[in-house]
């Protein structure tokens, strides 16, 4: 029996590729890549030769492809799963094959490495002892606001992914829902030449996004609710919207 290996790839700085990733790229029998062109591009930059068969493995086919790949694992093949950047399954394909491998009792392991979640968290300067990763914020304004309201009393540091074209509206919603004083960090272009971390209150970061719109890839890290904020959010102070959400 072979093995499924999920491997993290660099999120910007090619030098973050691990020695293990390099040898997996060279030696895996099958490489299941989110985007095959990006895989070859990475291999070129790393100056490694992809030894095995390369198959496209993305959001739209990961469920249907998982069992076929696992049949190969059963027959002795090693299958390497990589996404475009960072850790597979973290807002990227990969979970379907992990689940099916577990269900079928086949070996699955991970070659860890870069992921924007932890990079942003540790650079934010906010507490790291407890945090929650919340993926991308909802796209629609109304859903985003409703969702952010449910996070208002979250005591852990929160990590959100965001895209460039929604950063302006999202910052405005964060300001409206969490208020101007909560500490936060806007982390962009992590590990890249123009890496920048803007730290401050939500009010300050909101203003900085207006004054100097950020470019590139972005992670938002927001401090959890303080003890005082938790206390202030007594049930009697819940808004009608909160009560409606609780009643659902």
For ligand SAM, the binding residue among 6, 7, 11, 171 (CB under 6 A) is 11
Q: How far is the CB of 98 from ligand SAM (least distance, A)?
A: 14
Nearest to 94 by CA among 46, 71, 61, 132: 61
| Burial (0-12, 13-18, 19+ Cβ within 10 Å), 50 | buried
- Between residue 95 and residue 134, which ones bind ligand SAM under the rule CB under 6 A? 115-117
226 scored as a contact of ligand SAM (CB under 6 A): no
The rounded distance, in Å, linking the Cα atoms of 145 and 134 is 14
214 scored as a contact of ligand SAM (CB under 6 A): no
For ligand SAM, the binding residue among 101, 217, 222, 225 (CB under 6 A) is 217
Could you tell me the two tokens for 2? 């072979």
12 scored as a contact of ligand SAM (CB under 6 A): yes
**Residue closer to ligand SAM (CB basis): 77 or 184:** 184
**Residue closer to ligand SAM (CB basis): 77 or 221:** 221
CB 170 within 8 A of CB 144: yes
For ligand SAM, the binding residue among 50, 151, 154, 162 (CB under 6 A) is 162
163 scored as a contact of ligand SAM (CB under 6 A): yes
CB 163 within 8 A of CB 218: yes
191 scored as a contact of ligand SAM (CB under 6 A): yes
In sign, the C-alpha dihedral spanning 126, 130, 136, 138 is: negative
Give the Cα-Cα-Cα angle 183, 187, 189 (nearest 5 degrees): 175
Candidate segments 44-52, 54-62, 190-198, 199-207, binder of ligand SAM by CB under 6 A: 190-198
CB 97 within 8 A of CB 4: yes
If you count them, how many residues does the chain have? 248
Q: How far is the CB of 210 from ligand SAM (least distance, A)?
A: 20
86 scored as a contact of ligand SAM (CB under 6 A): yes
């Amino acid at each position: 029996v072979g093995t499924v290996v999920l491997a993290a790839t660099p999120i910007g700085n090619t030098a973050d590729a691990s020695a293990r990733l390099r040898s997996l790229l060279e030696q895996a029998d099958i490489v299941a890549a989110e985007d095959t062109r990006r895989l070859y591009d990475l291999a070129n930059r790393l100056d490694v030769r992809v030894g095995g068969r390369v198959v496209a493995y993305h959001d739209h086919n990961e469920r249907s492809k998982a069992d076929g790949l696992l049949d190969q694992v059963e027959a002795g093949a090693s299958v390497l799963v990589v996404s475009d950047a960072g850790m597979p399954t973290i807002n990227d394909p990969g979970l379907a094959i992990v689940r099916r491998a577990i269900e079928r009792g086949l070996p699955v392991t991970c070659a860890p490495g870069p992921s924007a979640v932890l990079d942003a968290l540790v650079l934010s300067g906010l507490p790291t002892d407890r945090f929650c990763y919340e993926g991308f914020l909802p796209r629609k304004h109304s859903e985003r606001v409703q969702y952010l309201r449910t996070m208002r009393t979250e005591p852990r540091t929160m990590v959100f992914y965001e895209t460039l074209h929604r950063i302006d509206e999202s910052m405005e919603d964060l300001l409206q829902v969490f208020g101007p004083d909560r500490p936060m960090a806007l982390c962009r272009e992590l590990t890249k030449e123009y890496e920048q971390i803007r730290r401050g209150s939500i009010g300050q970061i909101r203003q900085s996004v207006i004054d100097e719109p950020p470019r590139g890839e972005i992670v938002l890290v927001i401090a959890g609710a303080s003890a005082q904020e938790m206390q202030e959010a007594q049930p009697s102070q819940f808004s009608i919207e909160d009560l409606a959400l609780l009643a659902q």
